Amino acid sequence: MPPPNTPEEGVVATNTSSILALRPSMSRDGGGDGGGGGGGGPSSAAAVDLRLLEYEDAVDENLICPICRVALVGPVITNCDHVFCHRCLVQAHALNPVCPVDRLPLKLVSETRPAPKIVQNQLDNLNVRCPNHARGCHLVVARSLVENHVTRYCDKTMVPCPHPSCEHTVVRNDVGKGCLHYDVQCEYCEGNMLKADLEIHQDQKCPNRKKDCELCSAEFVRNKQEEHMKECPEVEVSCKYAPFGCTQQMSRKMAEGHGEKCDYRVVGPVGEQLAELRSELTALQEKDRMKDRRIKFLENRGYTLPASNATEAISDISLPESSTNADMAPYESRDQYFLSLFETMESKVERLSSALAEVEGRHSMMLINETLQIKDQLTEIRSTLGVLGMHVRWLMNFRLQERGRVGAGSPAMPGSLAGNQQGTSDPNLPRRLSDTMREHPPRL
């Protein structure tokens, strides 16, 4: 045991004492609760070891000591902001004077302090079961109150025997009965024991204490009640074909007769076979999994080696030659090498074909996308073309009519722009401008 004590450890009396109390516990594993509440915890003369408690609900991860992994007891916080049980930190610090989480050097006294009140309160509010629940107290209570409950109120707490010269302890419930620590003989099995233990003995352990079954009037040893229930002929049981769907309930002795005419008896043997097969199946699956691993492993090996000389692996012709060099050493035989080579090739081809399929798919997708757009544009163009044609036809008609009218006045050439503009009336002017532009292309 190295006690690399920092000089600061001796400064505060409470801490020194708890360290001293704990150090032997590291080597001999003695004296557990020396520093119960040094960091501000409520209990210093712990009647209840808070770390033995069972918590009713799951405890928030943030309230759990990273060392002992139960809800913090007497939480202390370090200057590097890590929280521990006071006792856990002291024990860890005695072995290694650093913060257990970040391993920065830590001075136990000057660099730690009790955790904030809010943490304490949250811990106090955790619900725990009474530590006497094994003796029959089923109370669930806030952690801060459990000690009070156990030391003052719980009927099942062990307390010193009221008799002044007796050194035994007794359940608080029985204190009023005087000292129960005298030898008595069990009336059933003739074993000797203390009076205090007699009741439990007779209830649970005595091999001779008999009891009549309420159902079948057979007599059985009292502590064997559960076993009797398994064979008592009057107990209600379900049909032996219940797993296959029979819902009938009847006493055990009737079940025998029912079994022979149960509607589900046909299914029974099939079901049994099914169960057998199922167990066989799981065994096989297990085997299969192991085989799979082996196969995978072998495949990997077959693959990694040719890949190590990947440049050669590209051309098929050069590969067989590489079998003569040192790379083939791990293979026991030439056949095996070729087999693995073949496998590699096969897997490569497979990969290539899948890649090819993918590329093909992508290409056709792209093609469709592109052509769709082009088609759209094409129809658009076609429709504009149609509209244009209509316009042109309408204009041509218009022009022809006009020419017919104007032609009566001036039979000279109406084709020139100036002539047109001069010759026509005002309302037609804007249309005629665009008209000329449309008429130009065919002339060009």
Partner 1 sequence: MSSTPKPTSSAQTSGAARLLQRQLKEMSTAKDLPGISVGLLNENNVFVWEVVLMINDDCKYYGGAYFRAHLTFPPEYPHLPPKLVFQAPVPFHPNIYASGELCISILHPPEDDKYGYETAAERWSPVQTPETILLSVISLFSEPNDESPANLDAAKLLRQDRAGESKEFRRRVRKCVRESLGED
Applying CB under 8 A, the residues found at the interface with partner 1 are 1-2, 4, 25-26, 28-33, 45, 47, 49, 51-52, 66-70, 88, 91-92, 95-96, 98, 100-101, 103, 131, 151, 157-160, 169, 290, 293-294, 296-297, 300-301, 326-327, 329-330
Provide, rounded to whole angstroms, the least separation between the CB of residue 246 and partner 1: 35
Tell me the closest approach of the beta carbon of residue 361 to partner 1, in angstroms. Answer: 29
User: In this complex, which beta carbon is closest to partner 1, that of residue 174 or of residue 327?
Assistant: 327
Nearer to partner 1, 330 or 389 (CB): 330
Tokens representing 400?
Answer: 């022809």
Q: Which is nearer to partner 1, 67 or 193 (CB)?
A: 67
Complex with partner 1: residue 158 or 215, whichever CB lies closer = 158
CB of residue 304 to partner 1, shortest distance in Å: 9
Q: What is the DSSP string of 381-426?
A: HHHHHHHHHHHHHHHHHHHHHHHHHHHHH--S---SHHHHHHHS-G
CB of 145 to partner 1, least distance (A): 17
Nearer to partner 1, 37 or 131 (CB): 131
Quote the radius of gyration of the chain (alpha carbons, Å). Answer: 48
Q: What is the DSSP string of 92-157?
A: HHHH-SB-TTT--B--TTTTEEEPPHHHHHHHHT-EEE-GGGGGT---EEEHHHHHHIIIII-TT-
To partner 1, the closest distance from the beta carbon of 148 in angstroms equals 12
Within 10 A of 119 (CB to CB), how many other CB atoms are there? Answer: 16
3-class SS at 21?
A: helix
* Number of neighbouring beta carbons within 10 Å of residue 98: 14
> What does the alpha-carbon distance between residue 378 and residue 386 come to, in Å, rounded to a whole number?
12
In the complex, minimum distance from the CB of residue 277 to partner 1, in angstroms, rounded to a whole number: 26
* Class of residue 282 by CB neighbours under 10 A (exposed 0-12, middle 13-18, buried 19+): exposed
Nearer to partner 1 (CB atom), residue 308 or residue 425: 308
**Of 241 and 331, which CB lies nearer to partner 1 in the complex structure?**
331
Residue 339 beta carbon to partner 1: minimum distance, rounded to whole angstroms:
17
